[in-house]
Structure 1
Amino acid sequence: MSGKLKVTVRVDLECSSVHIDVRGRVDERNVLAVYSLAQRANSLAPGLEVAIDLQHASVDAAVLWHLQACAVSGFLPEYADPLQAECRLTILAPEPQGERADVVLAA
């Protein structure tokens, strides 16, 4: 996979949610871009549910752990959000390699 991320952001103000779909390889070099998008989405309106969808991305284990820790704590890292605004963050993690249930092999 290339070092570039392909990102689609969908905002639904009626349902108070933002869905950030990330594709590509997410690692420690580019995760700040993901945090920045989450911070911008979180600043649109108070109480928005921000979902980061990594199901179609390749994510370094340490990066995934930090993203999930942010979801649990309800805050983005201070370097991404110096004001430390509360964030209703959900991480949709990729399936572990080799465990795709939707793949069927036919003989």
Structure 2
Amino acid sequence: MNTKLNIVVRVDLDHAKALVIAKGHITVHSVNALYVVVKRANSLRDGLDLKLDISHAWVDEEALEMLHTASETHHLPAKIDPQQAPCTISVLAPRREHTSARRAPIAA
């Protein structure tokens, strides 16, 4: 697994849509870099429908909760966007989550 965060942005201004695709490992620290990219994409046009595809990323549970909070509140964290511009973001959930603790084997 590549732990380096790779972010691609696809924008369709005619239809007011943007897709941010993240691959790699998303942690509570690297999620801030993702927020910055989302903020820049969101600033391109009012009412932009923004989708965040993290389906091919390893996402720590706490980082996933942070992303879902931004989706539910329609705002990015205040330290990233002090003006709290509306941000309609939909998170396309990952297929798997990375956790630092290994699960204990189940005894028969």
Shared fold, TM over 0.5: yes
Gaps of 5+ in 2: 98-108
Identical pairs, percent: 37
Superposition deviation, residue 95 in structure 1: 1.8
Superposition deviation, residue 7 in structure 1: 1.2
Contact 2:4 2:24 in 1 (8 A): yes
Counterpart amino acid of 1:92?
Answer: L
Q: How many residues align?
A: 97
Deviations 1:30-87 (A, max 9, x none): 1111000110011111000111100000000111011011101110000111110000
TM-score, normalisation: structure 2: 0.85
Superposition deviation, residue 96 in structure 1: 3.6
Residue of structure 2 in register with 1:94 after alignment = 94
TM-score, normalisation: structure 1: 0.86
Once superposed, which parts of structure 1, at least 4 consecutive aligned residues long, lie more than 2 Å away?
none
Distance 1:3 1:95 in 2: 16
Residue of structure 2 in register with 1:59 after alignment = 59
Matches of residues 12-27 of structure 1 in structure 2 within 5 Å? 12-27=12-27
Aligned Cα RMSD in Å?
Answer: 1.2
